[in-house]
């Protein structure tokens, strides 16, 4: 299949407005902006097949972020723990496939950040409402930490908390707007991160919600 390369200039150097958070971590400002309509259409199609749901933590608490997945592997949590699964536990079906626009965006953002040939097999789709937060955590359910994480923000703004290798390390408070992409890998791959409680706001395309796409090579 031939797909147009929407991100042909991806390997160019960082733009002046881009921000390096530390070695291996960078914010690519507005990197996804020009493809927001295609991304939102793809999210719509994914959630028609695999609706957003509030997973339970292993301790039995309902997560305030609503989640679904696209790609060969999907991140799930329940009483048995955190893991990647090939099928949506709610339907028993495979997760919706990774849309081409997702794959191109994730690969291009990783390349811009210095990680060539990133091929994600999992996209976690997170939905935040006003007051929703994501506490500081490390992403550690993936098979190989050599691959970076690519995180795309859509909708209302958020404050991304980006810490260090220890939970108690100082965190940077990084405002993220619709279209911003954060990439962290290499020495930053296991840095703690989270999202501060979402403030009431309005976005013309998404209303009062924030959607985050997190791309990983999990398997």
Interface with ligand SIN by CB under 6 A: which residues? Answer: 126, 134, 151, 160, 193, 195, 212, 214
- The item of Fe ion, ligand SIN, none sharing an interface with residue 212, based on CB under 5 to 8 Å by kind, is ligand SIN
Shortest distance, CB of residue 168 to ligand SIN, whole angstroms?
A: 18
Told to check if 139 binds Fe ion by CB under 5 A, we report: yes
Q: Quick one: 5 or 175, whose CB is closer to ligand SIN?
A: 175
Q: Quick one: 70 or 195, whose CB is closer to ligand SIN?
A: 195
Shortest distance, CB of residue 50 to ligand SIN, whole angstroms?
A: 17
Shortest distance, CB of residue 8 to Fe ion, whole angstroms?
A: 29
Region binding Fe ion by CB under 5 A among candidate stretches 10-18, 42-50, 138-146, 180-188: 138-146
Shortest distance, CB of residue 193 to ligand SIN, whole angstroms?
A: 5
Q: The tokens of 188 are what?
A: 């930053």
Q: Quick one: 79 or 140, whose CB is closer to ligand SIN?
A: 140
For residues 57 and 179, the answer to whether their CB atoms sit within 8 Å is no
Region binding Fe ion by CB under 5 A among candidate stretches 39-47, 82-90, 135-143, 180-188: 135-143
Shortest distance, CB of residue 158 to ligand SIN, whole angstroms?
A: 6
Q: The tokens of 107 are what?
A: 């690969």
Residues that bind Fe ion (CB under 5 A): 139
């Amino acid at each position: 299949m031939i797909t147009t390369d929407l991100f042909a200039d991806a390997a160019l150097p960082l733009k002046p407005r881009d921000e390096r958070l530390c070695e291996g971590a960078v914010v690519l400002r507005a990197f996804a902006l020009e493809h927001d309509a295609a991304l939102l259409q793809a999210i719509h199609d994914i959630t028609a097949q695999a609706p957003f749901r509030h997973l339970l933590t292993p301790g039995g608490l309902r997560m305030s972020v609503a989640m679904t997945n696209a790609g060969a592997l999907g991140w799930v949590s329940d009483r048995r723990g955190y893991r990647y699964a090939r099928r949506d536990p709610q339907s028993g079906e495979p997760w919706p496939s990774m849309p081409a626009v997702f794959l191109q965006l994730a690969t291009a953002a990783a390349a811009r950040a210095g990680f060539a040939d990133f091929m994600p097999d999992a996209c976690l789709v997170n939905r935040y409402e006003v007051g929703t937060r994501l506490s500081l955590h490390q992403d550690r359910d993936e098979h190989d930490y050599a691959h970076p994480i690519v995180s795309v923000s859509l909708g209302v703004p958020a404050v991304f908390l980006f810490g260090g290798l220890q939970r108690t390390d100082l965190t940077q408070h990084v405002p993220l707007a619709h279209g911003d992409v954060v990439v962290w890998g290499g020495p930053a791959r296991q840095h703690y991160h989270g999202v501060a409680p979402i403030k009431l706001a309005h976005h013309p395309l998404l209303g009062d919600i924030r959607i985050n796409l997190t791309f990983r090579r999990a398997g």
